[in-house]
A = this chain, B = another copy of it.
Amino acid sequence: MRFTLETSCDGVREQFFVLGEIPGVLWTPQGSAGTRPMVMMGHGGGQHKKAPDILSRARRFVAECGFAVVAVDVPAHGDRPKVEEYDRLAAENQARVEAGEELAPLIADFQALVARQTVPEWRAVLDAVQQLEHVGAGPVGYWGVSLGCGLGVPFVAAEPRVRAAVLGLGGALASAEVAGQITVPVEFLVQWDDERVPRAQSLALFEALASAEKTLHANPGKHGEVPAFEVDSTLRFFARHLG
């Protein structure tokens, strides 16, 4: 793990790093030392580790809860090189949708493919970050919606260090079987008028989670229109389960 750049702003320390081929960012309270809860955040499709919704949530988790937050670029996103196989699949899927195929199953297959790479990558990032003196091996949470849900479900299922997760804006096709292996508390976001994920599939993925405590929050609006008050709810959810 190699740190490349560091800044601080409004009490939040931001450290860019590279782990092998994985570029990432770690946010912690400025001047802090010792073990603390950590939230790993998975970004959406076409976005990256410092996308606005990642950054604004990360800053609040750090400033209001004293957590550490880490986010890395998914392969072929952010500072990472293109992946020829993904480009080819994306073009193929585009053509299939134009020819009348349903979008959701194609997204699901694609996310399952990417997850085979990201699950071991994210576990390695967790290993490395937990070695740091100002993070340590405290309770871990995961936050990810849309692509961050598609990749997050297999990650949360595979990683026993994750104690609570916020997921959503994702459907059941890729993830239902794996979701049945998740038993930690989950807050699950649904956009009632999601143009990318059919409502029935969202509800089916929530249904598939084996968690004794799981709570579904549905709001009107499209895929990208999660209301601001859900960030407050997310914050309290993690504070309750990791704090």
Contacts and interface: CB of A to CB of B under 8 A. Distances in A.
Interface of A: 190, 192, 206-207, 212-220, 227, 229, 232-233, 236, 240
A234 to B, nearest CB: 12
Contacts of A220: 212-214
Nearest to A203: B203
A121 to B, nearest CB: 32
B215 A216 contact: no
A218 B240 contact: no
Question: In terms of DSSP, what is the predominant structure of the interface of chain A?
Answer: mixed
Copies in the complex: 2
Given A206-B218, A218-B206, A218-B218, A213 B232 contact: no
A192 B207 CA distance: 9
A216 B233 CA distance: 13
Contact of A216 (B212, B217, B240): B217
Given A192-B207, A212-B220, A214-B219, 16 more contacts: A190-B216, A206-B218, A213-B219, A213-B220, A213-B227, A215-B217, A215-B218, A215-B229, A216-B216, A216-B217, A216-B218, A216-B219, A217-B217, A218-B218, A229-B240, A233-B233
A116 to B, nearest CB: 30
Contacts of A236: 232
Nearest to A213: B227
